[in-house]
Amino acid sequence: MKATHYYNPNGEEILDEKIFGGSPTGFVDFNRSKYQWDSNIYDLMNANTWFPSEVNTSSEKKNFVNLTENEQAIYKLTFAQLSFNDSAQEEYLSDFRRLANNRLIKSVLSLQIMQEVNHSKSYAVLLDACGNSDEVFNLYKYDDALNRKNLRIAEQFASYIDGTTSDEMLLSAMASVNLEGVYFLLGFAYIYTLGDKVPGARDMIQFIARDELNAHLPLFANIFKTIRKENSISTKTIDKSYKMIQDAVDIELEYGKYLLKSYPIMGLTEELMEKTVYNYANDRLEKIGLDAIFEKSKTTYLQDLVTKHLNINDIKSNFFESNVSNYAKSSLDINDF
């Protein structure tokens, strides 16, 4: 490998480094950001660093045992799927980072990798406290619907990660928009629906959801929009982006309806799931500069539930527009949320 891969004194000026293509010098300079949103999101991620040990899981096993059989099944299958999402995302980010040219973007991706590993650790801590870690992490071997969802998500990730064009990098970024913006949401809502019955799980998911929706999703939404702005992206590629989010919606609803049919719990219906996923998918499309294509409806109860739990530390920001007003970590005790 040539030394210029790491240090190129004749490379581009830092403020000229695009996300795709080019020849960077090798410096990371947070004082000179080409985009500003990248540095802002890094600060948000860093300010809200947390660790699983901050969540009280001492009563999780007792609380889990008191759930109904259907609620226990939802709990286990939800965490089995969410844990795969974070595991896959950590590996994908390592590959996606190699496609990026801008060194500051690479630095933000490095921090996200750490956070995804932290999420994986949190599932291990929670499920160990619950006493069913081995069972949950091996459910994919026995549940066809879970295995099918995992495989389809992995296929989306793998489709363009070896690409060498800006169009392929855009589509690879779209896979991450889907993961952060579609595949997690019903799982979060299931745990919030159980709520006070499993406070350890609820509080752990609050931290994870804050990372995913307040930082990771905006990061890839901005990456998508910036690649499109800086390159001549074909109409065919944009059409593929729409196809990818349509597939994501189908994948999420297929698994959600399977859980509901097999293990019904009070308050959840297929119609509620559909409206929720459609609303989220429309929002993600609009955030990346594309048109909403799904049936629109009023904000659902499940959306309100997710939003309510995102406000645990009163973060006030709009990183899709690169504005920051507050990203301080909460000083509240976890049990006060």
**156 CB-near residues (< 8 Å, 6+ apart):** 175, 178, 244, 247, 248
For the chain, what percentages of helix, strand and coil (3-state, to nearest 5) are there? Answer: 70, 5, 30
Strands (E), the chain: 316-318, 323-326
Q: Is there a contact between 225 and 300 (Cβ–Cβ < 8 Å)? A: no
Burial class (CB in 10 A: 0-12, 13-18, 19+), 154: middle
Q: Half-sphere exposure of residue 173, counting CA atoms within 13 Å on the CB side?
A: 32
Taking the mean position of all CA atoms in its chain, how far away is CA 18?
24
Spacing of C-alpha 292 from chain mean position: 20
Name, in order, each residue with C-beta under 8 angstroms of 271's C-beta and a sequence gap of 6 or more.
none
Q: Does 258 qualify as catalytic in the annotation? A: no
35, 42, 92, 123: the catalytic one is 123
Helix (H) / strand (E) element for 46: namely helix 37-47
φ, ψ of residue 299 to 5 degrees: the values are -55, 130
| Amino acid (one-letter) located at 106 | K
Q: Is 267 left (phi over 0), alpha (psi -120 to 50) or beta?
A: left
Nearest CA-CA partner of 314 in 303, 324, 328, 333: 328
For 30, the token pair is 């947070």
Number of neighbouring beta carbons within 10 Å of residue 247? 16
Which two three-digit tokens encode residue 261? Answer: 């049919």
Helix boundaries (H) for 56-68: 60-65
Q: Helix, strand, or coil here: 12?
A: strand
Residues marked as catalytic: 123
